[in-house]
């Protein structure tokens, strides 16, 4: 198959590219990424000779249609998205443009050029949140959408648009909604890599509120294996929840990192909570388990230690991001070509 991976220089997208190259070396992969602040071409450096990379904006209709006409994709997997809740509170507009209008452009191109499967990568945040005192409640695929932030609202809007294209235009779509991802190559503004980087420098660790907000942590490789199953064996028109069955309060995650790095909990700095902060996310992934046979391989204890060790072994990768130097990599690679 020829697969377009949008947002493929970002955290989950790049891990998906590596997963495909390992599991399906016969597939042809094209990576599309605008290389905004969260996209880093250096992440893909070891495999740039095995893929085709295109720097482009999914909102640029003319460029996207030209690419689709030239490449004749079988499958499109859309990871491209603005995804940080705090940034969406500061500037909602860019989230609406990329996450909704960009999705529309990709689906219009998929319709015109006969893509056999369009897969939308979504988030459990479209369901809103669950109360901390009801551990029995889980997000199901049938849970009503109830968003809390401009980010989650933009992703829910995109989901509804994807489902509308399936019903109205018969576009062969699938959607996956995942819980919080962690693992290699995650941008250092997110909780786990941020805490690792700051703890290593003995800087204070900012924790919202009392750190009691609960998330279901999903290792990125488990997420990739689920998406791979969906695009190959999933039922057209279906939504699939992907969860790690690893619920942890944020403060528990932070203390786990500090203990692993032999750092003092005195580094923790409780800060004012962000507006509309969701209390708890918890995924019921029984549908994908029953229908496609998927289950996560990583438990949190093993996955978090592997992740911490990866950041320890790859300081140059995230230190360049913290310094801003990574933004120059594309120009270094492609200037004069």
d(CA 110, CA 118): 7
d(CA 59, CA 106): 8
Residue 162 neighbours by CB distance under 10 Å: 24
284 in catalytic set? no
Residue 54 neighbours by CB distance under 10 Å: 18
* Active-site residue, selected from the candidate residues 125, 222, 228, 278: 125
Sequence-separated (6 or more) residues with CB below 8 Å from residue 267: 198, 199, 202, 203, 204, 205, 258
Return the closest-CA partner of residue 88 out of 167, 154, 17, 164.
154
* Active-site residue, selected from the candidate residues 18, 118, 151, 311: 151
* Active-site residue, selected from the candidate residues 18, 82, 118, 124: 124
Sequence-separated (6 or more) residues with CB below 8 Å from residue 131: 137, 279, 280
208 in catalytic set? no
d(CA 325, CA 319): 9
d(CA 185, CA 88): 21
33 in catalytic set? no
Beta bridge pairs of residue 215? 248
- Active-site residue numbers? 124-125, 151
């Amino acid at each position: 198959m020829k697969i377009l991976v949008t947002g493929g220089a970002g955290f989950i997208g790049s891990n998906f590219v590596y997963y495909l190259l390992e599991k399906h070396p016969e597939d042809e992969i094209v990576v599309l990424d605008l290389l905004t602040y969260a996209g880093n071409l250096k992440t893909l450096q070891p495999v740039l000779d095995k893929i085709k990379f295109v720097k482009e904006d999914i909102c640029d209709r003319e460029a996207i249609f030209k690419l689709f006409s030239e490449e004749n994709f079988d499958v499109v997997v859309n990871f491209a998205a603005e995804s940080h809740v705090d940034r969406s509170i500061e500037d909602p507009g860019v989230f609406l443009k990329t996450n909704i209008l960009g999705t529309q452009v990709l689906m219009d191109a998929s319709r015109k050029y006969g893509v056999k499967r369009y897969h939308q990568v979504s988030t459990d945040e479209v369901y809103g949140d669950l109360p901390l005192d009801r551990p029995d409640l889980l997000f199901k695929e049938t849970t009503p959408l109830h968003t809390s932030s401009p980010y989650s609202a933009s992703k829910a809007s995109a989901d509804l648009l994807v489902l509308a294209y399936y019903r109205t235009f018969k576009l062969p779509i699938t959607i996956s909604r995942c819980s919080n991802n962690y693992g290699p190559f995650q941008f250092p503004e997110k909780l786990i890599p941020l805490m690792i980087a700051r703890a290593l420098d003995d800087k204070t660790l900012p924790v919202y509120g009392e750190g009691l907000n609960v998330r279901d942590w999903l290792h990125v490789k488990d997420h990739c294996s689920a998406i791979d199953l969906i695009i190959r064996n999933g039922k057209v028109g279906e939504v699939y929840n992907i969860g790690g069955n690893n619920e942890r309060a944020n403060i528990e995650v932070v203390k786990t990192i500090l203990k692993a790095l032999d750092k003092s909990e005195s580094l923790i700095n409780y800060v004012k909570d962000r507006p509309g902060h969701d209390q708890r996310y918890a995924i019921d992934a029984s549908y994908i388990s029953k229908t496609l046979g998927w289950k996560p391989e990583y438990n949190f204890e093993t996955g978090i230690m592997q992740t911490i060790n990866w950041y320890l072994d790859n300081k140059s990768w995230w230190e360049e991001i913290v310094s801003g130097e990574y933004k120059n990599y594309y120009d270094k690679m492609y200037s004069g070509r």
